[in-house]
Structure formats: structure tokens, C-alpha cells
Chains A and B, each alone.
Chain A
Amino acid sequence: MTTIDKLDDVQGIVFSGYNKYMACCSYYLLKIDDAAKAKPWLKNLVEQNQISHGADKPTDETENRINLAITYSGFEQLNLDKDSLYSFELSFREGMHSEHRSALLGDRGINDPSGWDWGSGAKRVDLLFMLFSKNEAIHNASQKYHEKAFKGAGLSVVQRLDAGEKKQDANGFTLEHFGFADGISDPIVDGFPTTSGTGEIATGEFLLGYPNQYDGKLTKMPQLGSVGEAFGKNGTYLVLRQLKQDVGAFWQFMEDEAARQGITADYLAAKFVGRWKSGAVVEPNQDTDPNKVNNSFDFTKDSHGTGCPLGSHIRRANPRAVGLGATAEEALKVANRHRILRRGRSYGSFLDNPAKDDGTERGLLFICLNANIERQFEFVQHTWINSVKFAGLYDEDDPLIGSGVAENRNFTIQDEPLRRRVCGFQQFVTTRGGSYFFLPSLSALGLLASS
């Protein structure tokens, strides 16, 4: 079991998405126009204890939560020296929008960075300012206050992304726009204050400076001048992607295709996701939602995918204990070296009639934390989500969120005696923007402010 020495040095978003106390949330994507003004602003934020950390115990009285992350270009703007810049991992230095990374992530065609709302070209982003508030009145006031402060700090707002209203199902799970319970299956991380006992995943997978999943080695940390690796400790990498969900097209297709195949739309959609709307995993010989969510399952009893299809979304996002090794134990060990910690929220309003689009944009502000972007987020995206060869398949990517196949996509639903196949559908999720950030510790933010 690992202990995190200084919880008050770690930004709070690492431990919690603040879903319980913070109803409102805005992500400010900022550009640094004048570093000389931005540094005093940053210094002030740190010294006034405005950046939330892991020792802050939220209560009903807590009004705001603020966290701050920085891109590679942000560090350049803050005049980090060359050696320090070079100490960040390669994917972070290249950036999500770069030719190499975007090819790897499947951001091609309609997902290409050249068409993004932010994160590429002139819409480059230097800082991510995450503002959470208890209620709408407080949020409006806080927005005004901070937007004014940005102006004085030589920062311009490239984009403001507001999280949408929260919707919960009868079981208390948060719903995403397609209508499925979400956020059921985040890893239980060792050493986190929310974890009792020894967690399933090592601390160092999500927080730098602690043992990782490779026999407790330390993942490489960014360094700063004479401070060295202490700069990187208690920090981590943060991935933000704005993923537009085409809810109308998704459900319209489900209804048409289900009618054609003589099944129900809910059944077909559940096969795509791998879970029923309630969040219950789809099991063999099951035709309707059991509405009983138990997340401590693996796929050893469903190794052929006749329940939860081999290529379904949840099987790709986390294969649990099947297919990655000779034994279940080995497969789990492998899977656990590629986990991410999700902290995002939905944006846009919920569609009243899911099969009828209303022309407004909605989707997911996907945020994940990981100690090594290449080995965790990018790996999941490339080798599991977008790979057409995942689990021995031939020509299909993640049917729900994949972008590995541009159009005329396929999906195989394993069944007895004969598989079912869904052919010729479109991508239902589109990348509208994205960037890689570093989420420094509070002490590292202090160092940056006074550098």
C-alpha cells in the first residue's frame, strides 16, 4: 500500500470530479498573451489558496473548486528552459493535434484537427482553467470574477466549455447523452484518500512520483532546473477531448436496424455498448435490461462474447481478464497497465426524443488522467478502441465511439448458433477539439509562478 505524502500538494481533480457538491462547471481554454502578467496572477491563485487540493474536505458550504493545467505551448510561453521542456514525455511535447499523434488517435476525416473548434492552429491552447461551483448563481458570479481576472493577467479565452445539466437514473448513476449510465467503472487507485485498503491499481499510474504497475518502478517525471524531478512529483498528465455525440443519428439507426433484424433498439444499442442502459453488463441469453448493476465482473464466463460482444465498447475500453494473456491473471496484469482515470462531464442539453435530432450540439467533455499518455490514453484509444483487429476481429472498431473506420462501419454480435452482423453505419462520435495538458502539483505551480 502506498501513501501519498502531501495530499495538499496534489490538485483535487485527481481524487474527485466534484460531482457530489459542484453542480456547475466551466472549462476555460486560455492563451497566454503576456507571461509577465500571467505569472503574478498564477502566484496570486496559489498563495491565496484558490487552487483546490486533495486535503480540502468539501462540505455543503464549499462554493468553488478550481484546478489548473498547462499544455506544452503553455510551458513554452512561461519561458521554461529547453532542458526542462524536453523532460516532458514525447506525446505531450508533440501535442494531440500533431500529425503523428492525430494519426495514432484516429483523428482523421471528420475528426481531423484542422476542423476542430479549438486545440489546433490559431486556436492553440496554453492553459486549462477548470472552474466548479456549487450552484448557478455562484457560478455566474465566479465566471464574471475570473473572466475579468484573465483580462488583467494577459490571458485570452480561446473557448469556454460549459458542462451541461446533470441527469441521473433511478439507481443514482449519471447518464451520458446516448442514455446509458456512465462512470461506473473507474479504477480503484491505491493510496487515494477515497480508497480503503490496497487499491487495484498502483498510485503511480495516475500520479507521478509513486510506484507504477511495472513492479513499482517510477514513471519518468518532468524536471525543472535545479529543482529536478521534485517539479513533476504529485503532478500528472491530463487529456481533454471534446467529443460530440450524434444522439439522433445513433438512435435513429438503432431503431431502423433493429426493425430490419427483428430485434429491439434497446437490445441492439446494449450490444454496441456492452451494457444495458442501467449499466448492467450484457450477459449471454439475456434479452432485456435486468436493471441490476454489479460492476465486479470479468469476461471469463463470456469468453466468446455471446453476451457482451467481443468488439463492444466496454470490452474494448477495459478488456478485464480475457484475451490479453494465457491466464486470466496474466491478462488482468496486462490490462491494468493501460488504465485511465476519468474526470469529465457531459455538455449540451439532453435530447427529449432520442431518435429525433434537434440541431443543437451535445456530447462529452472527456477528461482523463494518466502518468504516461502513450502507454495509457493513447494505447487504449489506438490498440483497443480503434483497432480493427481487437480480440481477433477483422474490420471493425469500437461501434460506439470508434474512429478507426471512416464510414460503412461494421459490428459483429456473437450469437448462437450464428453471429449477427450490423453493417454500413456511420461514426456516432466526432472529435471537436482536444489537447494534452500537464496538471502540476501546487508546489510546482508556485515554482512556475515565481520563475
Chain B
Amino acid sequence: MQQNPMTVITEILPDQLQKLEAYLTPIGTDIKNNPAIKFSNYQQLHYCTFFVIPGKHPSEVDTGEPALLAFEANIDGEVKQFIKDLIAGNPDFVNTVYSCCKDYPGNNASQLAEYLTKNDHGANAFYVAHPGQTRNTIYEQQQIRERTEAYIDANRAELAAKQPTEIHADIVKHLGTINKPTPQPFLNSMGQMIFNGLLVALGILLVGGFFGMFGPLVEFLAVLALIAGVAFAVLLRWNEMRDKQDDKPWTVSEQMQAIQRVEDRQLQNHLTSVIEIKPGWFRLTTLKIVLAGINLVAKLVATKGDLSGIVTIHFARWVILPGNKRLLFMSNYDGSWENYLGEFIDHASVGLTAVWSNTQLGKDRGFPDTQWLALRGGSRDEQRFKNFARNSQLAELVWYSAYIDLSVKNVANNRAIHEGLFSTTNLAAWLKCL
């Protein structure tokens, strides 16, 4: 089953903002036992958050824009089905929240569902650590692991004297009937090949086309692409040379204290960043192309819990907010903020800088100086980049994780354990997963 992003963005009625925050805050502080909603009842839900995007954020100058409510969810299967289930399961919750928002249609379930669907902006780029792994599979495989480990703990001395095949047989026998693991989605195994194929095809088309191997039309298009490429490079460098990077250090505002109060207190964290897109069509277009590229990479290449070297992200997405002025980034990740940002710099400077070099905190407060979109500078300027990220960050009112004690690597390892139960080869290697 496919995982899908839901990003419902609605305008908050100015006089309802306080009420909305007062309603959601206690839910967020007691996510498990609050009387309003039990997110774990929704079996298709991996993560969800609610947060307010102040109209002016990240700029300090009030633009008069209304505050927005964002509702992010990472879902197994169709978003529509989740919305339907949510309204049926917790109508009071949904109505209380959205009655604080503009254009709220009233408590009629189908109209409400339509309202949420209409305001769902999905994602411009969406990354899933383990495509195809449903929440229920993740739960099931964690149970299989726990039962297996407990069995080994109790019988280690006896088992260790045996051959891997015998140990495997004993474990399988002990576990009894276990569901067969669902096969991985087609793209998990074939995506990289398709991606490489696409690149090669594009290369042949461009080079061959340029030399007229595929007729005059393709030749014309190839020449056009070349001209467009050169024009893009010139425009890009012209823009980059005029950009000013932000030099302001990170300030500890109330907002930041709210973030720190909940950050790094448990295995996982959520990061919410809202940032201004640099004005003008050029940056917006560049950003859209980059995000489409990242989305393609996420679908085809980064399907094994590894987003260009970052092995701690469960789900991440970029969404261009309505009005095309701001960019929203959200991610559910393992470990500390310091580690997460460090991983960005250590492993993923190119992709990250290609996105964020098109953004700024405000006028003349741009992303750290970048050359050639992503090739030099940008997030490699460690401290300036961390300040920039901090200043773009927002606190969540509600954050739910269906498996807060499992890391990305744990989920992958649990799957390997499950699959290995049905295998007869490489059993010595399989035992290393335990």
C-alpha cells in the first residue's frame, strides 16, 4: 500500500486564533491520554501534526497576512479515506478545529470532508523512508522481533551451540504461524534502474539530437534546451551575485523556547520550517523544478531508508504554500536537532542547498551565499546554515508519532528479520539482524 502526504492549509479567523491554540495545546501535551482524540485509533496514520503559521513568519515585519493552520498527516492509502474516517471517528475534534477557520462549511460530514480535501495541498516533494510499509506492518514486525529476541534471551546457551539453519528452524517453530511479508513495491527494487535509464535516454536525446541524429525537430529542441541551459546559468549567477546572506545570529525568542521545550526529549523529533521564497518568477520556477527533481529521486532512488546519505528521516515533504510566496518543509526524524542538521551538511548539501538557496528569511536576509545553485557554499557554511534553519522553524501544537520508539534503521531491520523467517539462504547473515 502506498503512503501519501496530506497537508491541509486553512486560514484561521483572526478572532479565533487564541481559542484554537487553547484547544489544541492540551491535546499536544498529552497526546496519548487526552479526552479529545486518540490518534492511534487511526490504523493508517503514521504521523500527524497541527501548527500555526503566523502571517508574517519568517519575516519580522507584519505583512497583514492572516495566520494559517497546517494539518500534516502521513497516511497509508488514500487521503480521502483518512479524512472520512477522521470525521466519522472524531467529529467534535474536527469541527472544533475547523470552526476556527475561514470558509468552514458547518458540521455536515460530506461538506466538511470536501472542505478538507479542497484545502489539501499534498506535497511538491515527498519522501518516505520505507515505501510500502504500512503502520500495521511496522507494528507487526516489531512484535515478531520482540518475540524472537525474548526466545533467544531465554535459550541462548542452547541455541548458540547449533548451526544457523538449526537456530533458524527453532525460531520459526517457536514463533508459530506468522503472516508472510508483503512484497516490496515494484519501484523499491526497479526504481534506480528506471532512474538511470531516464538519465541515459535524456542524455542520448540531447547529445544525439544536437548532432541531428533524430531529425530536425529533435535537433531544434536539443539546441533550444542548450540555449535555455546557458540562459538559466547566466540568470542564476546574476541572481546569486545580487543576493545577500543573512548574518543575524539565532535569537532565542519565545517561539524558539517553545520548540526547545519539546525537542530532543524523546527518540524522534518533528521539524517544521516555513521560509520566504525569494521574490520574482525565476526563483519560484527554479524551486519548482528542483522540488520535482527531488520528488522523482524520492520515488525512484531513495526508497531504502536513505535520502542521499541521511538515514534518520521517516517522512519528509516540501510544500509551496498557497500564494507561492512561502515554502513549508516538514520532517519526522530520529535523534537530535544538532545531529539532523549535521547530517544535512555532511551528506546532503547539494539537494538541500538547491532548494533553500531560493529562499530567504526576509529582504536581504537570504540563505548562506551559494554558487551555481548548490555546487558551492550554501549549507556548507555550517553555523550560518544552522542559524538560518533555526530562524525559519516553528513550534507544533500537536505532534503524533505512531511508533516513537522505532528508528528508521529499526524499521528496516525488523523487516529483514521478518523476511528472513521465510528464507533458507544466508541464515548466518540473517542471525546478525538479531
A150 interface residue (CB < 8 Å to B): no
Q: Using A103-B264, A104-B264, A389-B409 as known contacts, say yes or no to A215 and B380 having CB atoms under 8 A apart.
A: yes
What separation, in Å, do the CA atoms of A237 and B167 have in the docked complex? 52
The contact string, 1 if C-beta is below 8 Å from chain A, for chain B 408-434, is 011001000000000000001001101
> Min CB distance, A388 to chain B, in Å?
7
Mark interface residues in A365-388 (1 if CB within 8 Å of B CB, else 0): 000000000110011001100011
A418, B339: Cβ atoms closer than 8 Å: no
Give CA–CA (A261, B381) in the complex, Å. Answer: 51
Contact residues in A for B164 (Cβ distance below 8 Å): 417
Query: Is A137 among interface residues, defined by CB-CB distance under 8 A?
Result: no
Confirm or deny: B162 has a beta carbon within 8 angstroms of a beta carbon on chain A.
Answer: yes
Bound state CA distance, A338 and B162, in angstroms? 42
**Contacting pair B309 A325 (CB below 8 A):** yes
How distant is A345 from chain B, measured CB to nearest CB, in Å? 29
Known interface pairs A103-B265, A389-B410, A423-B153; A379-B382 also in contact (CB < 8 Å): no
Contact (A375, B338) CB under 8 Å given A103-B264, A417-B160, A418-B156:
yes
B338 touches A418 (CB 8 A): no
B143 at the interface (CB under 8 A from A): no
The answer, yes or no, to whether A292 is at the interface (CB within 8 Å) is no
The residue that A394 contacts in the complex, of B153, B382, B410, with Cβ under 8 A, is B410
Report whether A417 and B264 are in contact in the complex, using a CB–CB cutoff of 8 Å: no
The answer to whether A418 touches B342 (Cβ under 8 A) is: no
In the complex, what's the smallest C-beta–C-beta distance from B171 to chain A, in angstroms?
A: 10
User: For this complex, into which size category does the number of interface residues on chain A fall?
Assistant: 35 or more
Residues 136-165 of B at the A interface (beta carbon under 8 Å): 149, 152-153, 156-157, 159-160, 162-164
Q: Decide if B383 touches A418 in the complex (CB within 8 Å).
A: no
> A261 to chain B: which residues have CB within 8 Å?
157
B250 near A90 (CB under 8 angstroms)? Answer: yes
| A148 at interface by CB-CB < 8 Å | no
Residues B264 and A220 in contact, CB atoms below 8 Å apart: no
A419 within 8 A of partner (CB)? yes
Q: Does A122 contact B (CB under 8 A)?
A: no
- Interface contact B382-A214, CB-CB below 8 Å: yes
Given contacts A389-B407, A417-B428, contact A374 B382 (CB under 8 A): no
CB of B374, distance to nearest CB on chain A (Å): 15
Q: Mark B235-251, 1 if CB is under 8 A from A, else 0.
A: 00000000000000110
Interface class of chain B by DSSP: helix
Residues of B within 8 A of A317 (CB): none
Contacts of B407 in A (CB 8 A): 389, 392
**Residue B19 is within 8 A (CB to CB) of chain A in the complex:** no
A389 adjacent to B335 (CB under 8 Å)? yes
B80 in the interface, Cβ–Cβ < 8 Å?
Answer: no
Any chain A CB within 8 A of the CB of B260? yes
- Bound complex: CA A394 to CA B334 (Å): 12
B156 pairs with A421, CB closer than 8 A: yes
Chain B hits for A333, CB < 8 A = 346
**Taking CB as reference atom, which chain B residue is nearest A388?**
B267
Q: Report if B347 contacts A (CB, 8 A).
A: yes
A301 within 8 A of B: no
Does any Cβ of A come within 8 Å of B345's Cβ? yes
A388 to B252, CA, bound (A): 29
Instruction: Report yes or no: A417 in contact with B163, Cβ–Cβ below 8 A.
Output: yes
How many A-B pairs fall under 8 Å by CB? 97
- Whether the pair B410, A383 counts as a contact (CB closer than 8 A) is no
Q: Which residue of A lies closest to B308 (CB)?
A: A326
A215 to B380, CA, bound (A): 8
**Which residue, A100, A389, A415, has most C-beta atoms of chain B within 10 A?**
A389
Are B383 and A387 closer than 8 Å at their CB atoms?
no
Is A304 interfacial (CB-CB < 8 Å)?
A: yes
Question: In whole angstroms, how far apart are the Cα atoms of A100 and B258 in the complex?
Answer: 11
Closest B residue to A416 by beta carbon equals B428
> Of B163, B265, B336, B409, which contacts A383 at CB under 8 A?
B336
The distance in angstroms between the C-alpha atoms of A389 and B410, with both chains bound, is 8
Once A383-B336, A383-B339 are accepted as A-B contacts, the answer to whether A337 and B156 lie under 8 Å apart by CB is: no
A334 within 8 A of B: yes
Chain B residues with CB under 8 Å of A356's CB are: none
Given A220-B383, A388-B267, A379-B342 contact (CB < 8 Å): yes
A52 at the interface (CB under 8 A from B): no
Q: Mark B162-181, 1 if CB is under 8 A from A, else 0.
A: 11100100000000000000
Q: Once the chains are docked, how many angstroms separate the CA of A374 from the CA of B407?
A: 22
CA A292 to CA B334, docked complex, whole Å: 38
Tell me which residues across on chain A come within 8 A of B153, comparing CB atoms. Answer: 421, 423
* A325, B345: Cα distance in complex, Å: 12
B-contact bits for A98-134, CB 8 A (1 contact / 0 none) = 0010011000000000000000000000000000000
Q: Which of A90, A262, A325, A417 contacts B347 (CB 8 A)?
A: A325
Q: Which residues of A contact B410 (CB under 8 A)?
A: 389, 392, 394
Whether A382 contacts B160 by the Cβ 8 Å rule is no
Q: When A and B form their complex, which 4 residue pairs have the shortest distance between CB atoms, in order from nearest?
A: A389-B407, A392-B409, A214-B382, A383-B339
Q: 30 A-B residue contacts at CB 8 Å?
A: A90-B252, A100-B261, A217-B383, A220-B249, A325-B309, A325-B347, A330-B346, A333-B346, A334-B347, A338-B342, A375-B338, A379-B339, A379-B342, A382-B339, A383-B336, A388-B267, A389-B267, A389-B407, A389-B409, A392-B410, A392-B413, A415-B160, A416-B431, A417-B160, A418-B160, A418-B434, A419-B434, A420-B156, A420-B160, A421-B153
Interface residues, chain B, CB within 8 Å of chain A? 149, 152-153, 156-157, 159-160, 162-164, 167, 249-250, 252, 260-261, 264-265, 267, 309, 334-336, 338-339, 342, 345-347, 380-383, 407, 409-410, 413, 428, 431-432, 434
Interface, chain A (partner B; CB < 8 A): 86, 90, 100, 103-104, 214-215, 217, 219-220, 261-262, 304, 324-326, 330, 333-334, 337-338, 374-375, 378-379, 382-383, 387-389, 392, 394, 414-421, 423
- Beyond A334-B346, A392-B407, A423-B153, list 15 extra A-B contacts (CB 8 Å): A214-B345, A304-B432, A326-B309, A334-B347, A338-B342, A374-B338, A382-B336, A383-B339, A389-B410, A392-B413, A415-B160, A416-B428, A417-B163, A417-B431, A419-B434
